Amino acid sequence: MQIGPFKLNNNLVLAPMAGVTDRPFRQLCKRLGAGLAVSEMVSCNSLLWGSPKTRRRADHRGETEPRSVQIAGADPAMMADAARFNVDNGAQIIDINMGCPAKKVCNVMAGSALLRDEGLVGRILDAVVAAVDVPVTLKIRTGWDRAHRNGLRIARIAEAAGIRALAVHGRTRACGFSGEAEYDTIAGIKAAVGIPVIANGDIRTPEQARRVLDLTGADAIMIGRAAQGRPWIFRTIDHYLKTGEHLPEPPLGWIRDVLIGHLHELYRFYGEELGTRIARKHIGWYSKGQVGGAAFRQAINQADQAERQLETVRTFFDRLAADVDIAA
């Protein structure tokens, strides 16, 4: 898929997720098969740009191109300033968040709350596209609620404004993450516009990826929660889409090594104290469904130093691998 001057390696995109898609996780997912990885959202409020959290979110040093940064806000001029700020700090694609359903975002009329004001949507898109010389993309939902599904009209506004690709989560804001994704709505949007459309929602397996592409006609798919603790899902799906065949499940020793590498990157990026705390949720995701996972996660939550955390991880996965060898 092409976004402006950038031809992606494949049509698989890591969704932006607050508190998850930091630089270490984006790089890992790109290395394991994601054609594009979008950053956590960066606020358009310039008063926050000097904060440690925002500086980290705008840190793309060493990241594989293209570097896509999502911005969020409700004021056209502030959003334009945020786009320029992030381009100056290394962003090569600016993504606009009009899909986040979180109350704290919607309460300030940002995220998916913007879908209720189509005029404001147009003004924001026009302002951001005019502000930067890099491609601008947009993420939306199908509407605010079931009675107000205006995703198709928003898509046309986006195309007219010069948006270069549109990601659509197949639910309304009111749906949150419940119910089934509306692939028919995404298909209708794809049929109505000429820009690339990325389908998002309920894609957890290679078969689901193939089905969503077939049902929607979308140019790409976006994967979010299914990549938590399974960053290799992109490689797995890419292989299936290209060959129709399944890759074998990765061995436990390989998963252990991927996780340990991920942890080292988190410690480097955040420092040991904060990195150790942030690592806990990732370790929990990697260990989900494994025998003894609950007790392991309890031990991880008590490990407050990087070396102890690493040793606990090694011991757990080595024991799992040994049990598999005995059973075989």
CATH of residue 165's domain is: 3.20.20.70
- Amino acid 163: pLDDT: 98
Using a pLDDT cut of 70, give the percent of the chain over it.
92
- Rounded Cα gap, residues 160 and 243, in angstroms: 37
Q: What is the pLDDT of residues 83-131, one digit of tens each?
A: 999 999 899 999 999 976 655 555 455 677 888 899 999 999 999 999 9
Residue 113 sits in the same domain as residue 151:
yes
Residue 228 sits in the same domain as residue 162:
yes
In the predicted structure, residue 325 carries a pLDDT above the cut 80: no
- Amino acid 250: pLDDT: 95
Q: What is the pLDDT of residues 20-69, one digit of tens each?
A: 999 999 999 999 999 999 999 888 876 566 678 877 877 888 899 999 99
In the predicted structure, residue 180 carries a pLDDT above the cut 90: no
Which of these is catalytic: 29, 44, 100, 175? 100
Of the candidates 176, 16, 69, which has an alpha carbon nearest to the alpha carbon of residue 112? Answer: 176
Residue 156 sits in the same domain as residue 195:
yes
pLDDT confidence bin for 82, thresholds 50/70/90: very high
Q: How many CB atoms lie within 10 A of CB 150?
A: 18
pTM of the model: 0.93
75: left (phi over 0), alpha (psi -120 to 50) or beta: beta
Residues 6+ apart with CB under 8 A from 310: 260, 263
- Rounded Cα gap, residues 66 and 279, in angstroms: 25
Q: Is 106 a residue of the active site? A: no
Q: What is the pLDDT of residues 308-319, one digit of tens each?
A: 999 999 999 999
- Amino acid 99: pLDDT: 77
pLDDT confidence bin for 196, thresholds 50/70/90: very high
Residue 257 sits in the same domain as residue 235:
no
Q: What is the pLDDT of residues 203-215, one digit of tens each?
A: 999 999 999 999 9
In the predicted structure, residue 185 carries a pLDDT above the cut 60: yes
CATH of residue 307's domain is: 1.10.1200
Owning domain of residue 175: 2-243
| Tally of domains in the chain | 2
